[in-house]
Structure 1
Amino acid sequence: MTIRSLLLAASVFSLGACASNTAQTPPAAYGPAGPDAVAAYEAVTYSGTGAQWRNLGQQELAERINQPLANGRARNVIVFIADGMSLGTVTAARIYDGQSRGMSGEENYLPFERWGHTATIKTYSENGQVPDSAATASAIHTGVKTHNGAISVYARQTLESCRSDADLPATLLELAEARGLSTGIVSSARLTHATPATAFAHVPSRNWEVDAVLPADAVEAGCRDIARQLVEFDHGNGLELAIGGGRAAFLPSSTGGQRADGRDLTAEWVERGGAYADNRADLLASPADRPLLGLLASSHLPYELDRGEDEASLAELTELAVNRLQGDEDGFYLLVEAGRVDHAHHGSNAARALADAQEFAQAIERASEMVDLSETLIIVTADHGHVFSIAGYPRRGNPILGLVHPDAPDLSDDPTPPATAQDGRPYTTLGYYTGPHQRPPEGSLTDAEVMDPDYRQESAVPMGSETHSGEDVIAYATGPQAHLVRGVMEQNTLFHIITYAYGWDQADED
């Protein structure tokens, strides 16, 4: 059997080497059928020989044996961060993606999961067993861990960090600009939000996105809000591209923005020689020879499930960014963040978290097809996880957003009723340890209810917002020096792998 035929065999749902793979209409117990229901169900045919699994195992062994090591230097680096993409989120997104394309889901792979180099990443911060996005993204961008809430400053630094740039850790983006590379940021969150801000800003508090919230002692110490730092970024020749949400932090309150100082930072960006767009059409039509600031929403960009046809997807924004940056012969550094995976999890809304994770995977696939991987290192990771779980012994092919339906006792394909908890009521496969939604005191859920995009999964511990987790996350890598991403690693080590891949002198990073 050829590698190609093995790949084809692994991409369809069958437990026998010669079994039929005819998709069936989902039984009534599995909720509404149709592509929008993410409820695809296929018959399980057991051959009893295990041939498919032996073949698949041999295929994956061959892939690992033949995996070449790319020992060259990187001209370009792209870091993809899905905010809050825990390992459970990756697994559920893999199944969600597969089911949305008519598979049972479990056998699916997201594009980056086929890469040959992975590591588990320890996410704790300088002061937290469970971290936030500010500390974790700062570790990736500066090579040092800091405390929760801090944006690219050393641990325990407060107002003194505003007084001198010499006392601050350099970020990957700053180092890239100093070496003449083009740089860019794309995010589905506000550009002033924690993760994207760590690339270009230094501030003791992640909350200082706009001048109106700076306390008096911070102003006196010379602290600048994050939006202002983006526009005034003066390393190298400045940012070539920054696209995301957060327009309100750049506009004065007199025009519907949030700034108390009366400044219009978008106008200042244009005065500095840049192009500005606040919608998809203008963004796509913007001149390629001018630095581009795209602020496509007042706050965060919409969730993928809520995105209108006239609004750009994360994959489209990523494609635009790569197209603009890869013309630089000196290379580029690009950060792409799927920020809203985190927001959906905080609201215990698994459907939107998984849809945004799926779009994140599509953005990665598009970028990897556009660049030369012999000279471009791509790292995919999360900043932290969430207390999100997949549980309850659902049968294979069970809709990932649905109620738990166990396998039939006789291993047949017959539909089964939902499994029930000790209170006699059904429950979902997906759930959260903490969060804002608890099981109602009475009544019984249906598959149609729980598979609605607005359904919020149940939480064991009632809280106003679901919380982050302290578990490790995964990093995936391809391209030059990708083999260095392996084993169990501190999160800040990713920075050092990237600078080594670029061939930068360690002494120049300090």
Structure 2
Amino acid sequence: MTYLFPKSFPRYQGQKNSTMTAALLACTVTVLSGCASTLPDQDSAQHTDNTPLMSGLTAVTSPTTTNEWYQNGQQQADRRQQQAANTGMAKNVVLVIGDGMGITSLTSGRIYSGQQLGMDGEEYHLSFESLPYSALIKTYNTDLQTPDSAGTMTALMTGTKTRAGVIAINADAERSNCASSHGTELHTLFNDARQAGKATGVVTTTRLTHATPAVTYAHSPERNWEADSLLPADAIANGCQDIAAQLISSDLDIALGGGLGMFVPEADGGVRADGRHLANEWQQQAGHHYVSTRQQLLEADLSDGEWLGLFAESHLPYVEERDENVPSLTDMTKAAVKRLSNNPQGFSLVIEAGRIDHAHHAGNGYRALKETEELHQTVDWLINNLDLSNTLLLVTADHSHTLTLAGYPTRGNPINGVVKTNNEHGQPLSEPSRLEDGQTYTSMNYRNGPGAVSVPRPDITEQEALSKDYLQQALVPLESETHGGEDVAVYAVGPFAHLLGGTMEQHWIYHLMRYAMTGEAPEN
């Protein structure tokens, strides 16, 4: 089997030449025996130098179709050809956030998850990476080149870019200035959902009052005002309310995560100075229910009512540090979908794997990989249990981190291990690679953070590198590793997901969700 490829694509002019260009493009993927029939008559279609068209083509033998990589590529091409745009209305919208899950987190996360299954890892796919539509998303805030979670989540949930550190208010307000924030509150996706008669919910592995989940129900000029004791006197005097108190008075149908300390008074081990026990206040409202352990959540009758679950004083523990009382991200997601699916009009749900971000800030690649793996497993459940014909499912990150992968490790090298490379013949070496200083190094490293080391660098053993507490080496010493400023990925399936493509502004994601859910263009 042979294919025709033009040696060059000369320039043409006029309508006839547009036809010729299209024919040449079609010819590059047409079998030789049928290619000539797709071309315009040579008498009426010549190169600008009067050379006959067919003399500009050369025959190339096709690759063998028994090669597994070739077959895999063909299968992917076939699946893409069968892909059809879904222009129906979205009964449900599910937005999944891997907080801090940048491109390098995706690459290292997929390799790690694959290696846990006995694979080399590089060929593996995280569940959401197989969704049919994707794009790159720009993440900057209006005042920061490298953003924070409050501003980026506000963009995703409101369709409006804003400052770093503010919760669902626009950039006209100053951060931490309560008086300036009045009248700057932004309409959110959950407002749209409730106006359409849909249920709403949020699930997170962080405190429910933390920046990303807070944007779904609160408005504040300061992300750190999670409890009343954290508000300055002038903010209280000017009528600003803490984030936990706003959750208690919200219209959420279900909210599951951590952060109990923000809801209870100091006398009960919390941080509230006003003496209010907001968890009790929630339960005292008609139809409201409260759970605090995994078992209570699994046994709950989620057929109706409003549900609050607080499973830790602060953030939920990292995956491998949870006991039987703490639900997984998948546990909470299943419960939320069960409750929200009882609404005949559908629902809007936000799910956050928030501790990916925290592990990166700590310079701890292993825990970031484990949290990413949990998100992968949760989305796999969503893909297999939601009706994706009427559910718009999007998976993205709010921002990136400074994690890097480098060093030419051999195929299948443990992603968080010491680098072993190949010899000059492409065969893997048994001994770790060493840099000019004579020391070993790892694939995963950070641009900055607590893992920074001075010269001379220490030698790293494989056992040390694979430890769950190992901090990857960093270039610039900082107490906490920073966010990264590069684009992040978004993956999607469902109604109007086909509108994703190219490199897009982050706040546009809201407009896609709103249009898919309501069929209406956003208000000015």
Query: TM-score normalized by structure 2?
Result: 0.85
The yes-or-no answer on 1:311 pairing with 2:329 is no
1:190 aligns with 207
1:462 aligns with 477
Per-residue Cα deviation, 1:484-507 (whole angstroms, up to 9, x for no partner):
121110000000000110124335
1:387 aligns with 402
Letter in 1 for 2:444: L
How far the C-alpha of 1:64 sits from its partner, in A, is: 1.5
How far the C-alpha of 1:416 sits from its partner, in A, is: 2.4
2:51 aligns with none
Letter in 1 for 2:142: E
Question: How far apart, in 1, do the equivalents of 2:521 and 2:237 lie?
Answer: 35
The yes-or-no answer on 1:377 pairing with 2:404 is no
2:167 aligns with 151
SS in 1 for 2:216: helix
Question: How far apart, in 1, do the equivalents of 2:485 and 2:372 lie?
Answer: 20
Contact 1:275 1:287 in 2 (8 A): no
Question: How far apart, in 1, do the equivalents of 2:514 and 2:329 lie?
Answer: 26
1:79 aligns with 95
1:491 aligns with 506
1:249 aligns with 262
Question: How far apart, in 2, do the equivalents of 1:503 and 1:466 lie?
Answer: 40
Higher mean C-alpha deviation, range 267-276 or range 195-204: 267-276
Q: Name the Cα RMSD after superposition.
A: 1.6
How far the C-alpha of 1:126 sits from its partner, in A, is: 0.5
Per-residue Cα deviation, 1:109-149 (whole angstroms, up to 9, x for no partner):
11111111000000001001000000000000010000010
User: Aligned runs of 1:58-457 on 2, under 5 Å?
Assistant: 58-158=74-174, 159-160=178-179, 163-164=182-183, 167-233=184-250, 238-273=251-286, 274-288=288-302, 289-412=304-427, 415-439=429-453, 441=456, 443-457=458-472
Contact 1:162 1:221 in 2 (8 A): no
Question: How far apart, in 1, do the equivalents of 2:238 and 2:215 lie?
Answer: 20
Which consecutive residues of structure 2, in runs of 5 or more, have no partner in the other structure?
1-62
Contact 2:418 2:443 in 1 (8 A): yes
Per-residue Cα deviation, 1:282-303 (whole angstroms, up to 9, x for no partner):
2222332221100000000011
Letter in 1 for 2:208: L
Residues 369/48 of structure 1: CA separation in 2 closer, same or farther (3 Å cut): closer
SS in 2 for 1:201: coil
How far the C-alpha of 1:442 sits from its partner, in A, is: 5.3
How far the C-alpha of 1:50 sits from its partner, in A, is: 8.1
Contact 1:162 1:224 in 2 (8 A): no
Contact 2:110 2:126 in 1 (8 A): yes
Contact 1:163 1:221 in 2 (8 A): no
Contact 1:123 1:130 in 2 (8 A): yes
Question: How far apart, in 2, do the equivalents of 1:85 and 1:203 lie?
Answer: 25
SS in 1 for 2:95: strand
Letter in 2 for 1:432: Y
Per-residue Cα deviation, 1:414-465 (whole angstroms, up to 9, x for no partner):
x421111221100000000011112364542110110011101000111111
Question: How far apart, in 2, do the equivalents of 1:368 and 1:131 lie?
Answer: 30
Contact 1:210 1:258 in 2 (8 A): yes
SS in 2 for 1:506: coil
Which consecutive residues of structure 1, in runs of 5 or more, have no partner in the other structure?
1-46
Residues 131/442 of structure 1: CA separation in 2 closer, same or farther (3 Å cut): closer
How far the C-alpha of 1:257 sits from its partner, in A, is: 0.8
SS in 2 for 1:200: coil
Residues 434/443 of structure 1: CA separation in 2 closer, same or farther (3 Å cut): closer
Letter in 1 for 2:374: E
1:18 aligns with none
Per-residue Cα deviation, 1:84-103 (whole angstroms, up to 9, x for no partner):
00000000000000000000
SS in 1 for 2:225: coil
Question: How far apart, in 2, do the equivalents of 1:442 and 1:291 lie?
Answer: 54
Letter in 2 for 1:187: T
Contact 1:347 1:436 in 2 (8 A): yes
2:497 aligns with 482
Contact 2:65 2:71 in 1 (8 A): no
Query: TM-score normalized by structure 1?
Result: 0.87
SS in 1 for 2:244: helix
How far the C-alpha of 1:305 sits from its partner, in A, is: 2.0
Contact 1:247 1:299 in 2 (8 A): yes
Question: How far apart, in 2, do the equivalents of 1:105 and 1:94 lie?
Answer: 7
Per-residue Cα deviation, 1:267-325 (whole angstroms, up to 9, x for no partner):
11111121011111222223322211000000000111212234211011111111111
Q: Which has the larger radius of gyration?
A: 2
Seq. identity, %: 45
Contact 1:394 1:404 in 2 (8 A): yes
Q: Which residue of 515, 518, 521 corresponds with 1:500?
A: 515
2:3 aligns with none
Per-residue Cα deviation, 1:220-247 (whole angstroms, up to 9, x for no partner):
11100000111111xxxx1110000000
Contact 2:151 2:161 in 1 (8 A): yes
Question: How far apart, in 1, do the equivalents of 2:182 and 2:151 lie?
Answer: 21
2:24 aligns with none
Question: How far apart, in 2, do the equivalents of 1:495 and 1:252 lie?
Answer: 36
How far the C-alpha of 1:48 sits from its partner, in A, is: 11
Letter in 2 for 1:433: R
